[in-house]
Amino acid sequence: MMSHPINPCEVVRMLVANGVGRVKMFDADPWAAAALAGTGIQVMLAVPNDQLDHLAADPRRAHHWAERNVSAYLELGVDVRYVAVGNEPFLKSYNGSLINVTFPALKNMQSALDKLGLDVKAVVPLNADVYNSPENNPVPSAGSFRKDIHALMVDIVSYLHMNDAPFVVNIYPFLSLYQNPNFPLNFSFFDGGSKPVYDKGMVYTNVFDANFDTLVWSLRKAGVPDMKIIVGEVGWPTDGDKNANIRYAQKFYDGFLKKMVRNIGTPLRPGWMEVYLFGLIDENQKSVLPGRFERHWGLLTYDGKPKFSMDLSGDGLDNFVGAEVEYLPAQWCVFNKDAKDKYKDLPAAVNYACSNADCTPLGYGSSCNGLSHEGNISYAFNIYFQTMDQDVRACSFGGLAKITTVNASQGGCLFPVQIISASERVVPLRFLPTFFLVLLVAVSVLI
């Protein structure tokens, strides 16, 4: 969900260069999916939440979707392995709006895939809030599926298990920290710096393991103790909150990637794990209702550059290859301090800029939080100017702004120069994707 997407062919080149063996998409956009053809990369396509009602209502619609997307992409040479039916449909914030349609949509999709003779599994990626442990006994062994959806979850996991499909869960240690001010910071990481949790002979030194094994216990109690689990999303944002920064993100990924490469697993499920990192590239148009950090989950910046050193292969080297992109001219839009007679219009101008571009780095605890008043104004004007492809009309604001060729970045606050959007050069606008990919740390397929 980016104003300036990178050409999918370049993204795929980068994935191949980094030895990435699997990717997870959040739709079935042809622009992104077709770029994966012939690469050998295994793919999880997805049906967005707003289509679940449509698919649940009529099995023929699911058949048409599978035929148009899965069958067609397989014929192109895209190695489709899974179809995600929705994404976190049982989030409490949805107020139960998808509870009655998710399971029927899942069954219709798997039936369609089977009738087409495709060896592809339908799954439902779920947030970790579908299970929990009671507050008076917060240990994994006390975990079970949420009371309000318990019967439904038992039906879903039984159906998935019957079809040899995995449980896909999204686990976010960062959110544990974000949602609970008393949560121990070090329990989010993997260096053993926090007080451990003891549970039935098991020792937990980080929240990821504890959360994952709470799911294992929930599956045991639901009658499917050996069900395969895939972690569909895990990661750490780098901006938009006091705990969303490069330092913490790098600490999280350093520990997590070492854990994955060594095939440590969790106390209840030791060994290799299938885990997708969320996400690949920052998304400057994603909703910020859950928090300003939502636009900053990417391992890569908006222009496809690694935010910090990463070792996906486990060889101890910082060898991640970024994307190659073209930039707009090196110019910025900044506050024109000489327009003193127009200062009364500043609040409206800044509000307009930030309503149409991404000003989340200006928030409390974020990377540009330390700017001066004038710096904040310049940041807002510039990010709008760049989002509008440096159109000279986007750097006017009634005379309050001006264009400069002097880099306006200050300290740790980057005033970006936007890239040339692939959508403007390659495909019709109707194919603009809600596209972002998620990396899989699959040690067995990495170089």
Tens of pLDDT along the chain (447 residues) come to 999 999 999 999 999 999 999 999 999 999 999 999 999 999 999 999 999 999 999 999 999 999 999 999 999 999 999 999 999 999 999 999 999 999 999 999 999 999 999 999 999 999 999 999 999 999 999 999 999 999 999 999 999 999 999 999 999 999 999 999 999 999 999 999 899 999 999 999 999 999 999 999 999 999 999 999 999 999 999 999 999 999 999 999 999 999 999 999 999 999 999 999 999 999 999 999 999 999 999 999 999 999 999 888 766 777 789 999 999 999 999 999 998 888 999 999 999 999 999 999 999 999 999 999 999 999 999 999 999 999 999 999 999 999 999 999 998 899 999 999 987 544 333 333 333 344 444 433 332
DSSP 349-415: HHHHHHHSS--GGGSTTSTTTT--HHHHHHHHHHHHHHHTTT-GGGG-GGGTEEEESS---BTTB--
Under DSSP, is residue 159 helix (H, G, I), strand (E, B) or coil?
helix
Spatial CA neighbour of 239 closest among 251, 227, 247, 228: 247
pLDDT recorded at residue 130: 98
pLDDT recorded at residue 297: 98
Of 10, 75, 88, 274, which one is the catalytic site residue?
88
pLDDT recorded at residue 314: 66
pLDDT recorded at residue 41: 98
Is residue 278 classed exposed, middle or buried when 0-12, 13-18 and 19+ CB atoms within 10 A define those classes? buried
What tokens does 66 get? Answer: 């599978």
Of 67, 75, 233, 294, which one is the catalytic site residue?
233
For the whole prediction, is pTM greater than 0.85?
yes
Sign of dihedral through CA atoms 195, 198, 201, 207?
negative
> Could you give the residue ranges of the DSSP H alpha helices within 203-304?
207-221, 246-261
CB 425: neighbour CB atoms within 10 A? Answer: 9
What tokens does 21 get? Answer: 């063996």
Contact 81, 120 (CB under 8 A): yes
pLDDT recorded at residue 402: 97
DSSP state of 158: H
Domains annotated on the chain, with CATH: 8-300 (3.20.20.80), 332-404 (no CATH)
pLDDT recorded at residue 168: 98
75 is catalytic: no
What tokens does 241 get? Answer: 């909150």
324 is catalytic: no
pLDDT recorded at residue 340: 84
pLDDT recorded at residue 245: 97
pLDDT recorded at residue 315: 67
Spatial CA neighbour of 66 closest among 21, 106, 94: 106
pLDDT recorded at residue 70: 98
